[in-house]
Amino acid sequence: MALLDPTVLGLAPGFFWSIFVVGLGIIYLIYTVVYELFMSPLSVYPGPPLWAITSIPYNIAFLSGHMPTIVTKIHERYGDVVRLAPNRLSYTDPEAWQAIRGHLKAGQVEHDKERSSFYFWSRNNLLGAPRDAHARIRRSLAHGFSAKSLQAQEPLIMQYVDLFIERLCGIAYANGSGASKAPAGIANMVAWYNFATFDIIGDLSFGSPFGCLQESRYHPWVTTIMDSVGQFPQLLILKRHFPSLLDFLFKYKLIGGGQRGQLNLAAEKVDQRLALNTERPDFIDAMTKHADDGREDKVRPLTREEIIENARIVVLAGSETTATTLSGVTYYLAKLPEIQRKVAKEVRSAFKSESEININGVQNLTYMIAVLNEAIRMFPPVPTTLPRICKPGGDIICGWRVPEGTALDIFPHAMNYCSRNFADPYEFIPERWMDETDAEVFGTKLDRSRQHALQPFSVGPRNCIGKNLAYVEMRVILARFIWNFDFELADRADVYWAVNCRHYNLTVKGKLNVRLTPAQRV
């Protein structure tokens, strides 16, 4: 131990111990670099070397709001399976959807949700509940999202679409008394789509709207959603690396106001709805009255806490993601007038009157549906990963052996812009989704061998329960919007609107100002 006595070396004790600690730090750093690059079970995976050594680049990219585009570039350089952190892999191989999230055979163990991600807020709802609890909650909600239920709710949905169009007509005709005059009304379509989808999901959930369309303004709940999206990256990093600090900040309400605000508003709305004590085909009714769905193996009804948690998720997922897709498709159509004219011709020739545009009628608008699919590909409503953890014992995913406990990422943006999945991925080509299109006209642009990479509603037993509702809303609202208006970007700067958006668990969008002109009919 004489070697650790600074007096033997003729050094001051403080200086000696400073050098000793620095030396240990350097040794540890060298060991970490060597281990992660050459000895770790994940060292065989390609990816940026610095990202393999430390999680710092991953966290910085996430904080920037441009993580999906950064990951897209990494995949383009390194391939379909890349290492994004010391214990994290990311995939753009379409088969990864099924391998990581797909339906399981009897007795198989699923790749669980990564609890250090935002799922730690979602133990009691569809998003993050454990497998058994998830099945029980999903069964309770399934009745409200069934095709039969949506048909029954069509008049309710259409009344808000009517009000949405009425409000936009008020803007379009603001400078004139009719179609004979060329009005120059400008609308922020990001806001108006949020108003419409939020009112619809409010009524479907609680039996009353949020009043966004009626009052032409955001409800406080929308504001809390945007607040929580903006806070999300900081909360996620704290949860992964400084959980005790996060608990302290939450305990003293120094952070997480957006999440608390959503839960408080959800609790208020749920209690108001339950106090009515009436039967009405909405989601609260589904969660309280249809827990067993008529089955013999009846399940425990949802608790008040579970109803509140799931109401919060239903409102969030049923409003913001649909509004994001509608904003995206409006942006691309405003940028690409030739495509806008083509889809307008289809919509306006398919119906004799606007009243014919309903849930069933829009299913036959093949080109408009292709336009929506392409907009979802280029502007995914959930652009970032919903991470899983590799199951005990590990697995083989896309031909690679994955150790248990490895975080598994699928970034929809990276999937959708991968040139191995979609030729000319940065080009807006609706025809790639139309089976009857002559492939020789567009050449390799219509190679469909890996187009199942597009999975906006995920796959497997935890796929989005609101898929049918989302498609109904998107198609009916877009068809009615196109029936009534021609439109263009009102500000040249908005040509870069999609690029300027920031992406976290949801997309933070700037204003999308569009100049509306009443449709000119032949």
What's the pLDDT score for residue 49? 96
Sequence-distant (≥ 6) Cβ neighbours of residue 362 within 8 angstroms: 368, 475, 476, 479
What's the pLDDT score for residue 330? 98
pLDDT tens across 449-504, in order? Answer: 899 999 999 999 999 999 999 999 999 999 999 999 999 999 888 899 999 999 98
For 237, the token pair is: 């990093």
pLDDT tens across 127-173, in order? Answer: 888 888 888 888 888 888 888 888 888 999 999 999 999 999 999 98
Q: How far is CA 447 from CA 419, 431, 432, 452, in A?
A: 11, 11, 8, 11
Handedness of CA 394, 395, 397, 401 (dihedral sign): positive
Contact predicate 201/193, CB 8 Å? no
What's the pLDDT score for residue 51? 97
Q: Is the pLDDT of residue 67 over 90?
A: yes
d(CA 271, CA 128): 23
- Site of tokens 């009857």: 436
pLDDT tens across 404-419, in order? Answer: 999 999 999 999 999 9
Global pTM reads 0.90
pLDDT tens across 219-261, in order? Answer: 888 888 877 777 778 888 888 888 888 888 877 777 777 778 8
> Is 169 among the annotated ligand-binding positions?
no
For 23, the token pair is: 């030396």
SS3 per residue for 244-258 = HHHHHHHHCCCCCHH
Nearest to 85 by CA among 44, 55, 117, 57: 55
Q: Is the pLDDT of residue 178 over 90?
A: no
CATH of 42-518, one of 3.30.420.10, 1.10.630.10, 3.40.228.10, 1.20.1050.10: 1.10.630.10
d(CA 517, CA 515): 7
> Of all helices (H) and strands (E), which one includes residue 37?
none
Mean pLDDT of the chain: 87
